[in-house]
A and B are shown apart, each in its own frame.
Chain A
Amino acid sequence: MIEIKDLHKSYRMGSNSLHVLKGINFTAEEGELVAIMGSSGSGKSTLLNILGMLDLADSGEYTLDNVPIKDLSETKAAQYRNKFLGFIFQSFNLINYKSALENVALPLYYQKVGRKERQEKALNYLERVGLKEWATHLPSELSGGQKQRVAIARAMAAEPKVLLADEPTGALDSKTSYEVMDLIQKINDEGNTILVVTHEEDIAHMCKRIVHLKDGVIVEDKKIEQVRAQQYV
């Protein structure tokens, strides 16, 4: 599903150049649930941004679902993001003046799905995250865990190839964190490919594979025994 070869990325900081990714090689198969771990500055967010086509690599190859990702125009990148990727952010990033339903429907709007179909689909995904009754509520009326579930529904609504979660539990207490992870595991059980960036060990162990980043290189890549979040809920 995802294939990365010798990825390099550096940032210019004034006169200094900061080499963040120093040759990353990484593949993820369909249906994998991968945790990307590392301390801050390890390059994990940069890697996720490049995977999410929010940022461009300096060199290296990136193939997503057999589509080479390179030389993207803004418009093309937007189309690919819409088609291939679903984002889950630490701070949820819901649009605060739109109801939960409208938020979930937004990616479908950009896919030019008709209004009625969009609403049906969005409601369906809200139901799957257990928030059907909250469809008409604004994000400000929801708890943190509920917001993140709306955000997950939104990420799934466009039926992307890969879900990218950047510290999805970073802003949540541990109980809600486990609820969110339980949801992510269930989505993964259905065969979706999910990449989770986190620095929390317990969250990482709820994935099926852990990739450790340190100073811009992968230092460890191991399959693990998945801890089900269900038992903590």
Chain B
Amino acid sequence: MFDRDIWQEIFHTLRNNKLRTFLTGFSVGWAIFILVMLLASVNGMQNGFTNQFNDDATNSIFIRPGTTAEAYGGFEAGRRIQLKNDDYEYLKSSFPKDIEYISSRYFTGTTARYKAETGSYSVQAVHPDHQIIEKTLITEGRFFNDADVQNRAKVAVLGRKVAEDLFKDEEPLGKFVEFNGLPFRVIGIFTDDGDDNAERRIYAPITTYQRIYGNTNIINQVVLTYNPTYDLTRALEFSGKLEDLMKRRHKVAPEDQAGINVWNYAEAFDNISSFTTVLSAISIGVGFLILIAGIVGIGNIMVFTIKERTKEIGVRKALGAQPKQIINLVLLESVFITAISGFIGLIFAWIILSVIGPTIDTPAFSNPSVSLSTVITATIILIVAGVLAGLIPAIKAANVKPIVALSDK
């Protein structure tokens, strides 16, 4: 394999057939280039998805009431399901081990005013746990705590945009802002890099809002995160249990998704990871098909080369070349072309990815790149491909009969 003479011969044939070598090598290099780019793209999509979902805790479960679609338990279809405070209390006390954080959500809107500035914003009245569930980033001040909730404190945490709109250059912390005429003290500012709209939101303690605006115990949603040590199966099992319980509690048919919807993030993640798995499988498949075209190209050229060199091979055999030496020569040549051109494709793709990749950061596509294992796999594939491409021509060459090759007719 490291015989200088063999390499000399290989270089010689390649040098004498530059265009042919280039064209063949190009097909393989191109195939590897496409394969790597495809894999990197899938990787980029995966990164994009992961980034997007990381905005919320990935172990969250959302419980959302709706309108029943089926008649059940003596009730007609079309009944509106309403969650109440006791649903929250019930969940919180029933699953102390399964639930990590839990919060109710009460949605409303408000006209906020500070001095001469006014604006309309959506308000989410929630429990303190909500900060962790939503991964709300406090840049100044603090989020409200259990004491604020218990005291029905009139405090608010403003989104960055809200604070900018209302306070301009003033420091908002500690100032009072009017929500529909009632003064709330600003105790914190938050940002959300996932979403500009989220920064136009105001958080306030749920108890305060329920008391002040309607004296109600109605809540719109319950969000919670499950024990983070749970794996996917266990998480899905838990959200299934929650769904059954909540449906029973509100007399909703077990199959009725419209009545009460329990949405588990794990499910989405499961879907996405299987989605990207399918996607990478497809790109590997496509890449392989292109690579096969390249291999066939090389095989084709090698067969042609052998045909051209039939006489030479015959002479070599007459001089005592053994079949395996001939096979060696052809295989090495094939592996050499494949490996070199494949590497060029690989390096080319890698350069493009490392230059362009980090600059790409959109919600659905972020930092496409290839891992070392992909590169190693590609290398192994290349060498195997080279052997495959050379195999038939090599056997053909080994079977050359010197007597036929040497006949001058």
In the complex, chain B residues whose CB is within 8 Å of the CB of A109 = 5
From residue 142 to 178 of chain A, which have CB atoms closer than 8 A to chain B?
154, 158
Within the complex, what minimum Cβ distance (angstroms) separates A123 from chain B?
Answer: 16
In the complex, chain A residues whose CB is within 8 Å of the CB of B5 = 109, 115
In the complex where A55-B403, A95-B312 touch, is A87 in contact with B408 (Cβ < 8 A)?
no
Within the complex, what minimum Cβ distance (angstroms) separates B14 from chain A?
Answer: 12
Give 1 or 0 for each of B259-294: 1 = CB within 8 Å of chain A CB.
000000000000000000000000000000000000
**Do residues B408 and A90 form an inter-chain contact, with CB atoms below 8 A?**
yes
**Do residues A154 and B319 form an inter-chain contact, with CB atoms below 8 A?**
yes
In the complex where A95-B312, A97-B16 touch, is A81 in contact with B318 (Cβ < 8 A)?
yes
Assess whether A93 is interfacial by the CB under 8 Å rule: yes
In the complex, chain A residues whose CB is within 8 Å of the CB of B402 = 54
In the complex, chain B residues whose CB is within 8 Å of the CB of A97 = 12, 16
In the complex, A53 Cα to B238 Cα: how many Å? 80
Number of B interface residues at 8 Å Cβ cutoff, please give it.
Answer: 24
In the complex, A91 Cα to B4 Cα: how many Å? 29
In the complex, chain B residues whose CB is within 8 Å of the CB of A115 = 4-5
Within the complex, what minimum Cβ distance (angstroms) separates B269 from chain A?
Answer: 60
Chain B residue with minimal CB distance to A56? B403
Assess whether B322 is interfacial by the CB under 8 Å rule: yes
Assess whether B323 is interfacial by the CB under 8 Å rule: yes
Interface 9-mer from A61-69, A72-80, A127-135, A188-196: A72-80
In the complex, chain B residues whose CB is within 8 Å of the CB of A107 = 319-320
In the complex, chain A residues whose CB is within 8 Å of the CB of B315 = 93, 95
Assess whether A82 is interfacial by the CB under 8 Å rule: yes
Assess whether A20 is interfacial by the CB under 8 Å rule: no
In the complex, A87 Cα to B314 Cα: how many Å? 12
In the complex, chain A residues whose CB is within 8 Å of the CB of B16 = 97
From residue 203 to 221 of chain A, which have CB atoms closer than 8 A to chain B?
none
**Do residues B320 and A83 form an inter-chain contact, with CB atoms below 8 A?**
yes
Within the complex, what minimum Cβ distance (angstroms) separates B326 from chain A?
Answer: 9
Partner of A75 from the list B314, B316, B319, B323 (CB cut-off 8 Å) is: B323
Within the complex, what minimum Cβ distance (angstroms) separates A153 from chain B?
Answer: 13
Assess whether A89 is interfacial by the CB under 8 Å rule: yes
From residue 89 to 103 of chain A, which have CB atoms closer than 8 A to chain B?
89-91, 93, 95, 97
In the complex, chain B residues whose CB is within 8 Å of the CB of A78 = 317, 320-323
**Do residues B323 and A49 form an inter-chain contact, with CB atoms below 8 A?**
no
Assess whether B352 is interfacial by the CB under 8 Å rule: no
**Do residues A93 and B322 form an inter-chain contact, with CB atoms below 8 A?**
no
Chain A residue with minimal CB distance to B314? A93
Chain B residue with minimal CB distance to A74? B323
**Do residues B406 and A89 form an inter-chain contact, with CB atoms below 8 A?**
yes
**Do residues A74 and B406 form an inter-chain contact, with CB atoms below 8 A?**
no
**Do residues A81 and B320 form an inter-chain contact, with CB atoms below 8 A?**
yes
Within the complex, what minimum Cβ distance (angstroms) separates B132 from chain A?
Answer: 74
In the complex, chain B residues whose CB is within 8 Å of the CB of A55 = 403
Partner of B320 from the list A49, A91, A93, A111 (CB cut-off 8 Å) is: A111
In the complex, A141 Cα to B317 Cα: how many Å? 25
In the complex, chain A residues whose CB is within 8 Å of the CB of B317 = 78, 81
In the complex, chain B residues whose CB is within 8 Å of the CB of A54 = 318, 401-403, 406
In the complex, A93 Cα to B16 Cα: how many Å? 19
- The bracket for how many chain A residues form the interface is 20 to 34
In the complex where A54-B402, A78-B323 touch, is A87 in contact with B316 (Cβ < 8 A)?
no
In the complex where A54-B403, A93-B406 touch, is A110 in contact with B318 (Cβ < 8 A)?
no
In the complex where A49-B403, A110-B325 touch, is A87 in contact with B12 (Cβ < 8 A)?
no
In the complex, chain A residues whose CB is within 8 Å of the CB of B325 = 110
Within the complex, what minimum Cβ distance (angstroms) separates B394 from chain A?
Answer: 14
In the complex, chain A residues whose CB is within 8 Å of the CB of B4 = 115
Assess whether B234 is interfacial by the CB under 8 Å rule: no
Assess whether B324 is interfacial by the CB under 8 Å rule: yes
In the complex where A54-B406, A115-B4 touch, is A87 in contact with B322 (Cβ < 8 A)?
no
In the complex, A115 Cα to B8 Cα: how many Å? 13
Chain B residue with minimal CB distance to A78? B322
Give 1 or 0 for each of B375-409: 1 = CB within 8 Å of chain A CB.
00000000000000000000000100111001010
Chain A residue with minimal CB distance to B4? A115
Assess whether B160 is interfacial by the CB under 8 Å rule: no
Assess whether B201 is interfacial by the CB under 8 Å rule: no
In the complex, A89 Cα to B402 Cα: how many Å? 12
**Do residues A91 and B322 form an inter-chain contact, with CB atoms below 8 A?**
no
**Do residues A75 and B318 form an inter-chain contact, with CB atoms below 8 A?**
no
In the complex, chain A residues whose CB is within 8 Å of the CB of B401 = 54
**Do residues A82 and B323 form an inter-chain contact, with CB atoms below 8 A?**
no
Assess whether A106 is interfacial by the CB under 8 Å rule: yes
In the complex, chain A residues whose CB is within 8 Å of the CB of B318 = 52, 54, 81, 87, 93
In the complex, chain A residues whose CB is within 8 Å of the CB of B247 = none
Within the complex, what minimum Cβ distance (angstroms) separates A166 from chain B?
Answer: 8
**Do residues A81 and B406 form an inter-chain contact, with CB atoms below 8 A?**
no
Assess whether B311 is interfacial by the CB under 8 Å rule: yes
In the complex, chain B residues whose CB is within 8 Å of the CB of A89 = 406
Within the complex, what minimum Cβ distance (angstroms) separates A145 from chain B?
Answer: 18
In the complex, chain B residues whose CB is within 8 Å of the CB of A93 = 311, 314-315, 318, 406
In the complex, chain B residues whose CB is within 8 Å of the CB of A106 = 316, 319
**Which residues of A are interface residues toward B (Cβ below 8 A)?**
49, 52, 54-55, 74-75, 78-79, 81-83, 87, 89-91, 93, 95, 97, 106-107, 109-111, 115, 154, 158
Question: Known pairs A110-B325, A111-B320. 9 more at Cβ < 8 A?
Answer: A55-B403, A78-B322, A79-B322, A83-B320, A97-B12, A106-B319, A109-B5, A110-B319, A154-B319
**Which residues of B are interface residues toward A (Cβ below 8 A)?**
4-5, 12, 16, 311-312, 314-325, 398, 401-403, 406, 408
User: What would 29 A/B residue contacts be, using CB atoms closer than 8 Å?
Assistant: A49-B403, A52-B318, A54-B318, A54-B402, A54-B406, A74-B322, A74-B398, A78-B317, A78-B321, A78-B322, A81-B318, A81-B319, A81-B320, A82-B319, A87-B318, A87-B319, A90-B408, A91-B408, A95-B312, A97-B12, A106-B316, A106-B319, A107-B319, A109-B5, A110-B316, A110-B319, A110-B322, A110-B325, A111-B320
